[in-house]
């Protein structure tokens, strides 16, 4: 899966976020382009990941995708050098989904080397970690 496919998939995932005003989708692909994980934002009351020691960013799509990968031992090592794509959808175009400092820290900790995100112009920006 290339980055463009991943952006498309993250957008599709964001469209499935229901009952929540902000709709974010995230996809993580390995260095070799393998799909590692998919995540979306969710309401705070649905948080279940306190056991991982992170509470603040759990409702964010990025953290959701990362925690899913961390729950599978086979995927953990593939996170190193991977790329995380996160988008927020609006009615007609992508909206700003620049990652928060908690998600950036979390992504850095697990070895993700790049975050691509939808920016204020509805384009895709890139952040090297
Ligand atoms: Zn975040």
Work out the pLDDT band at 52, boundaries 50, 70, 90.
Answer: very low
62-86 average pLDDT score: 95
Phi and psi for 108 in degrees, rounded to 5? -60, -45
Decide if pLDDT at 26 tops 90.
yes
Lowest mean pLDDT across 27-36, 47-56, 99-108: 47-56
At the top level of CATH, the class of 3-128 is alpha beta
Distance 101 CA to ligand 1 centre (A): 7
Distance 62 CA to ligand 1 centre (A): 6
Distance 32 CA to ligand 1 centre (A): 25
pLDDT reported for residue 19: 66
91-115 average pLDDT score: 95
Would you tell me the crossing angle of helices 3-15 and 61-70 to the nearest 10 degrees? Answer: 110
Domain ranges of the chain: 3-128
Work out the pLDDT band at 17, boundaries 50, 70, 90.
Answer: confident
Work out the pLDDT band at 21, boundaries 50, 70, 90.
Answer: confident
DSSP of 85-109? EEEEE-SSSEE--PPPHHHHHHHHH
pLDDT reported for residue 18: 73
76-84 average pLDDT score: 97
Distance 64 CA to ligand 1 centre (A): 9
Distance 33 CA to ligand 1 centre (A): 23
Distance 107 CA to ligand 1 centre (A): 10
Distance 41 CA to ligand 1 centre (A): 9
pLDDT reported for residue 51: 41
The residue written with tokens 């970690």 in the block is 129
Distance 104 CA to ligand 1 centre (A): 7
């Amino acid at each position: 899966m290339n980055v463009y496919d991943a952006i498309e998939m993250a957008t599709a995932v964001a469209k499935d976020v229901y009952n929540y005003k902000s709709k974010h989708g995230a996809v993580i692909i390995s260095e070799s382009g393998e799909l590692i994980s998919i995540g979306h934002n969710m309401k705070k009351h649905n948080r279940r990941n306190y056991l991982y020691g992170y509470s603040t960013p759990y409702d964010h799509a990025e953290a959701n995708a990362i925690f899913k990968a961390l729950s599978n031992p086979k995927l953990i090592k593939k996170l190193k050098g991977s790329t995380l794509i996160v988008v927020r959808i609006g009615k007609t175009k992508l909206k700003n989904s620049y990652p928060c400092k908690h998600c950036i820290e979390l992504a850095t900790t697990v070895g993700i080397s790049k975050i691509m995100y939808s920016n204020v112009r509805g384009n895709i920006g890139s952040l090297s970690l």
